[in-house]
Amino acid sequence: MTPEFIFNTLITIIILNFIKDYYLSYLNSKNFDNKIPDVVADVFDKEKYVKSQEYKKTQYNFSKISSLYGLIIILLFFYFDGFLIVDQLSKTFFNSTILVSLCFLGLIYFGNEILSLPFSIYYNFVIEERFGFNKTTFKLFIIDKLKSWLLTILLGGSILGFLIFQFEAIGKNFWITAWIFLGFVTILINGLYSQLIVPIFNKQTKLERGELRTQIENYATKVGFDLSNIFIIDGSKRSTKANAYFSGFGKQKRVTLYDTLINKLSTNQIISVIAHEIGHYKKNHIVFNIIFSIIQSGLMLYLLSILISIPIFSESLGLDKPSFHIGLVCFTILFTPVSEIISLFFNLFSRKFEYEADEFAKKTFDSKYLIEALKILSKDSLSNLTPHSKYVWWYYSHPTLVQRISRL
């Protein structure tokens, strides 16, 4: 293999992945004008369905432009020695190999953030605003960005710094200690996500005593589930879209409900949503996802340890010496086909888990209320009711609304 061959391989993977995404999105767009499914016709009147179709078409047109923009930027970066320029710039700031790598990866990350910022602003303040979803002020948008950047520097920088340090200290076997470390971080973040990460962006308050809390606790007791932590999150300050999620382990486990969810659904409908979330916990789906994530990170680290020191990867991007950051860039792209296959399997299991959680809610509560909740949430978020089957197979982590209702 020559550096030119590696370079062309990287470009080919990037372009083929773009074509795959573009083609599947095109297939999906062909279904936008399909007739409304009979099973949801009772909640989607003609005006609402037309609006949902317009929303899908607007998102599709936006994604075509933004993804093409991203492809052009990365190709220009490759063909005009962007990685070499950033590498040399990083070396003017630092002498330490660890700091050079962190600086390089940081410049790449923030460069991408700045270049994509206009699209993010347009999506939030034009598209989401036009369809009545956006509640984010420009001030809050900027604050959120600054917080996420700071969190990336502190958390992402610390994790990357540890990996690079292990690579420098141990060599190719660094993947073993790095894997143990990443596994620990994965479990910690999953267990304490609501306590550590969420408060940075949102206010959480315990659900007050009243009919809703009493009914939720009665249901939890009935299914043998210790649920004392029920929280409300102020999602309405950013969007009108509603959600609910389960997090934590042991005494730290909690259900978090968006305030928008409480405003949209009745008590029984909310309990049905919680029943679904408890179903995930009872069926050990959360544990499976964590184990799956840890296995995937171990595979990635092992393959990275094999490829990262090969000089030809650095040479393919115009550098004369191998380094962790250049090896990581090449590996990330080369790993894309494997990552796509892993993602397919994950989505397959994820859709299966959603059916199982729905079934749990059906058996322990009442499927009627879950169906009602799914319809309302789908209507209010203008979700795609007629996605193409190939698009669903490749990208969807949840079954479609029609599939879930039919199964229920």
Per the listing, tokens 């910690």 go with: 188
Q: Are 212 and 267 in contact (CB under 8 A)?
A: yes
| Side chain identity at residue 1, one-letter code | M
| Side chain identity at residue 29, one-letter code | S
Segment (H or E) for 257:
strand 254-258
Determine the Cα–Cα distance for residues 19 and 41; give it in Å rounded to an integer: 35
Q: What is the DSSP letter of 244?
A: E
| Rg of the chain (C-alpha set) | 23
Alpha carbon 167 to its chain's center? 28
| Side chain identity at residue 358, one-letter code | D
Alpha carbon 192 to its chain's center? 18
Q: Are 326 and 314 in contact (CB under 8 A)?
A: yes
Which DSSP string corresponds to 192-208?
HHHHHTHHHH--EEEPP
CB-based burial, 300-328: b 16+ in 10 Å, e otherwise: bbeebbeebebeebbbbbbbeebbbbbbb
The CA angle 113-118-119, to the nearest 5 degrees, is: 90
Which DSSP string corresponds to 8-50?
HHHHHHHHHHHHHHHHHHHHHHTTTTSPPPGGGTTT--HHHHH
Q: Are 327 and 175 in contact (CB under 8 A)?
A: no
| Side chain identity at residue 96, one-letter code | S
Q: Is 335 helix (H, G, I), strand (E, B) or coil?
A: coil
Give burial (CB, 10 Å; 0-12/13-18/19+) of 369. Answer: buried
- Residues counted in the chain: 408
CA diameter of the chain: 70
Q: Residue 63 is encoded by which pair of tokens?
A: 């994604």
Q: What is the DSSP letter of 153?
A: I
Tell me the pairing of strands 230-233 and 254-258.
parallel
Residues belonging to the active site: 277, 358
